[in-house]
Amino acid sequence: MSLPPLVQPAAELSVDEVRRYSRHIIIPDVGMDGQKRLKNARVLCIGAGGLGSPALMYLAAAGVGTIGIVEFDVVDESNLQRQIIHGHSDIGRPKAQSAADSVREINPYVQVNIHELRLDSTNVMDLFSQYDLIVDGTDNFATRYLVNDACVLLNKPYVWGSIYRFDGQASVFWSEHGPCYRCLYPEPPPPGMVPSCAEGGVLGVLCAAIGSIQVNEAIKVLAGIGEPLVGSLMVYDALEMTYRKIKIRKDPDCAICGTNPTVTELIDYEAFCGAVSDEAAAAVVDSTINVKQLSQMLDERERGERDFVLIDVREPNEFEIVSIPGSVLIPKNEFLMGNALAGLPQDKQVVLHCKVGGRSAEVLAVVKGAGFADAIHVGGGVIAWVNQIEPEKPTY
């Protein structure tokens, strides 16, 4: 559907700005009026990672007058495969500062606001109220529901994107004109069922494809041109090189934007989404060791003083990057399907680990439920092992 422009045009463009944006201005649908609206726009980008990188760069190049960056992380070497707003020399720097420097280099006429904070229910409403439109580059469900609910309560358009391996999705959620994120996903998936990009990987260039679509949609909403993805879900398959547009409708029973909403204020989104299932949370109580304890156990096993089986529940590609010495790879899904349980030794303690501890906690619940009462898992997983025991090994 066509929508009216979200923002009013700025009073004028300078001669230098006209030169800079001339390729926009000569497009009839944009013109001088549309470019002035972009100059007057205030856009908040949540995250300066995979999606935030191309989004921020193209928002700046397009001439969006005020750009806010919400980011609390620092640049890691593993980010550089896809987070193109950062460079090698930025490793260890706060992402927000690194991204802001790149935005200013792209366009010195843009006002950049840095918000080095973790977005939560205590700060989101005040922050969002300072901007016209929200571009979401996050990769976790708790933040997505938080962003959606805040946008609905404030009547802000929410440009959403999602990436995983070779697949991407994008939409514009705006409850005044169409469905919100909860209309599409009323409930989060069960904890541990949907792997993150950190667990499953993502093709670096996919970020550019989806991030640029997000900016395209933001420009259309801000300037009032074209037909934004309000009420539509764009699905991209990079391997097959296909785009599909799926119609999504406003849910009259939606918890926050429906006829009789049950969510009328912000909630505890971490609890709503759950980092791990209740079963996993119960299983890890008094059954979690740290990597230093594991190192000592491995030394004792080497000396023949104790015996146990150390099982890595990650995926084979992860195991190839880095592994804990003496571990055996049995992916998490083998336990969830029940295939791995029959092969577990009855006369040895079972010790489980994954990348950071979430997947091994879920498997621990399955293993304990199968009768292995003394099974334990390693908190912090491989990442903690590399950081504390073998720092010469790679992380991812």
**Which of 225, 253, 273 represents a domain boundary (last residue)?**
273
Domain count, the chain: 2
Instruction: Kindly tell me the burial class for residue 113, based on how many C-beta atoms sit within 10 Å of its own C-beta (0-12, 13-18, 19 or more).
Output: middle
73: helix, strand or coil = coil
Residues of the chain short of pLDDT 70, as ranges, are 192-194
My answer on whether 246 and 298 are in the same domain is: no
C-beta separation of 233 from 389 below 8 A: no
Q: What is the pLDDT of residue 277?
A: 81
> Judging by DSSP bridges, how do beta strands 349-353 and 308-312 pair with one another?
parallel
My answer on whether 216 and 302 are in the same domain is: no
CATH number at residue 302: 3.40.250.10
Rg (CA), the chain: 24
pTM of whole model > 0.85? no
In a domain, 205, yes or no: yes
My answer on whether 233 and 336 are in the same domain is: no
My answer on whether 181 and 323 are in the same domain is: no
Q: How many residues does the chain have?
A: 396
Query: Which residue range(s) make up the domain with 352?
Result: 278-388
**Starting from the edge strand earliest in sequence, which strands make up the sheet with 167-173, in order?**
111-115, 66-70, 42-46, 133-136, 158-164, 167-173, 232-237, 242-247
Which residues share a beta bridge with 162? 169
My answer on whether 74 and 151 are in the same domain is: yes
C-beta separation of 353 from 381 below 8 A: yes
Query: 66, 67, 61, 64: which is closest to 106 by C-alpha?
Result: 61
My answer on whether 223 and 101 are in the same domain is: yes
In a domain, 394, yes or no: no
Q: What is the pLDDT of residue 221?
A: 98
My answer on whether 216 and 334 are in the same domain is: no
Angle at alpha carbon of residue 20, lines to 208 and 115, rounded to 5°: 55
Q: What is the pLDDT of residue 192?
A: 64
**Starting from the edge strand earliest in sequence, which strands make up the sheet with 376-378, in order?**
288-289, 376-378, 349-353, 308-312, 328-329
228: helix, strand or coil = coil
Q: What is the pLDDT of residue 193?
A: 65
Digit-coded pLDDT (tens) for 19-49: 999 999 999 999 999 999 999 999 999 999 9
Q: What is the pLDDT of residue 263?
A: 94
Query: 33, 52, 40: which is closest to 225 by C-alpha?
Result: 33
Calculate the average pLDDT of the chain: 95
My answer on whether 365 and 298 are in the same domain is: yes
In a domain, 2, yes or no: no
**Which of 227, 248, 273 represents a domain boundary (last residue)?**
273
C-beta separation of 143 from 269 below 8 A: yes
In a domain, 101, yes or no: yes
Active site residues per annotation:
197, 354
Digit-coded pLDDT (tens) for 239-272: 999 999 999 999 999 999 999 999 999 999 988 8
CATH number at residue 53: 3.40.50.720
